[in-house]
Structure 1
Amino acid sequence: MMSSTTSRSLMLATGLATLAMMQPAMALDAQTFVDRIAAVYEVGGYNITFGPATLEGDTVTVDGATVSLLGLEDESWTIDTTLTFSGVAETEDGGFTAESLTIPDIDTEFAQDPVGHLTMTDVEANDIYLPPADAINNLALLESVGSITTGPLTVTRDGEDFFSIQSISAVNEFTYDDADTLIDIASTFDVAGISANLQTMAEEDPEAGPVIEALGLTQINGSISQIMTWDMTDGHLVIEEFLFDFDEVGALDITADISGFTPQVLDKVAAMQSPTIDLTSEEAQAQQMMVGMELLQALTLTSASVRYDDDSLAGKLLDLFAAQSGADRAQFVEGLKAMAPQMIGQAGIPALTDMAIPAINAFLDDPQSFEIAVRPATPTTLLVLSAAAANPAGLISALGLSITANQ
């Protein structure tokens, strides 16, 4: 038979081993977790105060929160619902991860006269990462969430449909090197099924109403989408698409391709935007100027463009303004075409006038598309382009500026 001393020793050893294995789980503290979230988002200019947080297993439940912008604490937004973080774990270096954040469906009034009612369903964030306390920076803010999605959002005004969205989706795909350093972000952002009913506004506003009716904008439908990649190593940022597309209105697409926007540059820009800095002081202004010069030197432009594709809005505007002037559309367009050279010529850049007028005339005659693009022959720093601005004609050439219509 085992002696009592041996038995007690084994029980003590077993207890110590069990306690040692439990330490990582016991180290997870709900308050520390939500405090870390607040610290990460403070870098982005947000002041978040969470309600009481409790831990059960690997789930942290938070009783609401108050959110405001730093420096604008009097204009806060209260989240009066339960926030549930699932799959929460602490990393070896003192950071945190969570599989998801979910909140109950929202169904609330937000205004009384007129009565505004908001509903929103299926709100969820996934793949949450919070760094150790000593590694919080702007890059940590960028990689804090893998995706945010929602279901339908609706806003009613005095019980009538006013605004709705079918879904929202923001997805980030992160690439890391062998040392677990973030090297690339690929992002997509989609707001699908946007619908706005402007009939009530048209009925209530004596000035806007006739315009809304004439343009056929009592009901508008569309979507917003963005595709972007960002390489951390050389700061190569490519906005492949930033598209606002609305039926029977038109589509506006913005693209850009720049290099040099590294995390270090981002940190410098963010530091100068801190609400604690007195921008009226000479020291702060001098520092801003230095940062501005560093940005001009660091950032390289490969291309950028703004393109509008008409879906009847331009034609309706021309018809409306022609009617208001007492002329038919053809006469009104000819008048605009006669005025355009003088208006563009006020810039004092003949090369710009020569480039812009043919495109403007073509679009006025037949509104299909209009694009302004810059594509330097070789990628060029913004500092070089700024220096070229002393000679506007030279700047047009350096930028590779083009203005085209209906192409």
Structure 2
Amino acid sequence: MMRINKIQGLMLASGMATLALMQPAMALDAQTFVDRIAAVYKIGGYDIQFGAATLDGDTITVDGATVGVTGVEEPWTVDTTLTFTGVAEGDDGSFTADALTIPDIDTEFAQDPVGHVSLVDITATDIYLPPEDKVNVTALLESVGSLTTGPLSVTRDGTEVISYESIEAVNEFSYDDANALTDIASTFAVNGIWADLSTVSEEDAEAGAVIQALGLTEINGNISQTMTWGMTDGHLVIEDFLFDFADIGAINFKADISGLTPAVLEKIYAMDAASTGSTPEEQQAQQMMVGMELLQALTLTGSSLRYDDAGLAPKLLDMFAAQSGADRATFVEGLKAMVPQLVGQAGIPALTDLVTPAANAFLDDPKSIEVAVRPATPTTLLVLSAAAANPAGLISALGLAVTANQPSAE
């Protein structure tokens, strides 16, 4: 009987010792997870200090965080619980999590007038953190699959002044046979943006009068972006970066650039990190060195910035004509006479010849205007910067074009 009691006692002691050893290990796993997040985002210039992290099954809850950003004096405090679900550790020491959720925001941010903001359904999904020895820029790029929110509402003394329906940012990753990241396809959208600008006059009477004159007391629109990015050659294609607002207009930016590889990004981020504590002279020298490397590494295939009017330009012309005491036709003719003089101040006749016809066409019939650069062949930024010594030659090297009221070139 004494031997049985001793065995039972040893088993109980062993069990308690095992439990005691397991608890620090569980806490360490949670802490290791958040430390890995901080390490990944530190590469991008973020200094994240997480609160206490607790593990429960495959869920890690974190008691808030403080986020500092390189170049920004005041850190941002996240004073709420962060919940990571579906957390798993890989055999290689990597981590994955199904989702990060943040409690809905419903709080006042000002007192006079009373400002209130609410934002719901804040979620990040498909989180990946590499092993400790593989924390690099690529890891930062593939750390999150999607980030979404539900509706945002901002009120002023109980009246809604700004809202949107949702934000959706989605990344799709492609990998080679060795499981190395090869391509990223990204979409981003802010849907259903709405703002009431009728109260601007209470803060700025002059701006309020302009808003009233243009009929912009309420605006509605969307922001969207579509992009692909190859890691091997750094081929970045921004297919659309569109700001589209009803009864105002749409601004769309497109670009096709090669050479923006993770290695190049690494140098940019390293330069930002090294600038902390450096003298202005040291910062300038390092920026010049990295700048030259970028100019040599990046190749421009094409880029464009286009504005399609949806009613704003005619209203602006009418308003300015009325302020000048002339009718619109007379006012437009005066503007057209000024265009060559204004552009001519650059001292580049070729630029004046390029811009004037498009500007005149837009003033006569404001539908669209586009500025595009399309070199005959993809050209490094270093070659283009050297061509800048001869502005007329640079215009030719860039394939610079300014057009008005023409269909968008896809």
| Partner Cα separation in structure 1 for residue 293 and residue 103 of structure 2 | 46
Gaps of 5+ in 1: none
* Aligned counterpart, 2:398: 399
Kindly state the Cα deviation for residue 370 of structure 1 after the two structures are TM-superposed: 0.3
* Aligned counterpart, 1:153: 152
Kindly state the Cα deviation for residue 138 of structure 1 after the two structures are TM-superposed: 2.1
* Aligned counterpart, 2:246: 247
Contact kept, 8 Å, 1:108 with 1:119, in 2: the verdict is: yes
Does residue 1:263 correspond to 2:262, yes or no? Answer: yes
* Aligned counterpart, 1:144: 143
| Partner Cα separation in structure 2 for residue 379 and residue 204 of structure 1 | 49
Q: Which amino acid aligns with 2:31?
A: Q
Contact kept, 8 Å, 1:28 with 1:90, in 2: the verdict is: no
| Partner Cα separation in structure 2 for residue 220 and residue 51 of structure 1 | 40
* Aligned counterpart, 2:339: 340
Q: Which amino acid aligns with 1:65?
A: A
| Partner Cα separation in structure 2 for residue 270 and residue 350 of structure 1 | 40
| Partner Cα separation in structure 2 for residue 169 and residue 61 of structure 1 | 24
Contact kept, 8 Å, 2:27 with 2:53, in 1: the verdict is: no
Q: Which amino acid aligns with 1:190?
A: A
SS of match in other structure, 1:119? strand
* Aligned counterpart, 2:176: 177
**342-351 vs 201-210, which deviates more?**
201-210
Contact kept, 8 Å, 1:110 with 1:117, in 2: the verdict is: yes
Contact kept, 8 Å, 1:202 with 1:213, in 2: the verdict is: no
| Partner Cα separation in structure 1 for residue 279 and residue 357 of structure 2 | 45
* Aligned counterpart, 2:34: 34
Does residue 1:212 correspond to 2:211, yes or no? Answer: yes
| Partner Cα separation in structure 2 for residue 142 and residue 243 of structure 1 | 22
**376-385 vs 276-285, which deviates more?**
276-285
* Aligned counterpart, 1:230: 229
| Partner Cα separation in structure 1 for residue 133 and residue 280 of structure 2 | 30
SS of match in other structure, 1:126? strand
**331-340 vs 62-71, which deviates more?**
62-71
> Counterparts in 2 of 1:2-401, with a 5 A limit?
29-70=29-70, 72=72, 75-274=74-273, 276-278=275-277, 280-401=279-400
Kindly state the Cα deviation for residue 272 of structure 1 after the two structures are TM-superposed: 1.2
| Partner Cα separation in structure 2 for residue 261 and residue 302 of structure 1 | 13
Q: Deviations over 1:76-131 (max 9, x none)?
A: 32222221100101122212110001122111111112211111111110000111
Contact kept, 8 Å, 1:195 with 1:222, in 2: the verdict is: yes
Contact kept, 8 Å, 2:227 with 2:236, in 1: the verdict is: yes
Query: How many pairs are equivalent?
Result: 391
Q: Which amino acid aligns with 1:244?
A: F
Gaps of 5+ in 2: none
Q: 1:362 to 1:72 in 2, by over 3 A?
A: closer
Q: Which amino acid aligns with 1:130?
A: L
Kindly state the Cα deviation for residue 44 of structure 1 after the two structures are TM-superposed: 1.6
SS of match in other structure, 1:207? helix
Q: Deviations over 1:267-311 (max 9, x none)?
A: 111111126445544444223222111111111100000000001
| Partner Cα separation in structure 2 for residue 247 and residue 367 of structure 1 | 16
Q: 1:99 to 1:28 in 2, by over 3 A?
A: farther
Q: RMSD in angstroms over aligned alpha carbons?
A: 2.2
**254-263 vs 106-115, which deviates more?**
106-115
| Partner Cα separation in structure 2 for residue 112 and residue 27 of structure 1 | 41
| Partner Cα separation in structure 2 for residue 71 and residue 344 of structure 1 | 36
Q: 1:314 to 1:275 in 2, by over 3 A?
A: farther
Contact kept, 8 Å, 2:27 with 2:55, in 1: the verdict is: no
Percent identity (aligned): 74
TM-score by length of 1: 0.91
| Partner Cα separation in structure 1 for residue 235 and residue 388 of structure 2 | 24
Q: Which amino acid aligns with 2:222?
A: S
Q: Which amino acid aligns with 1:370?
A: I
Contact kept, 8 Å, 1:70 with 1:275, in 2: the verdict is: no
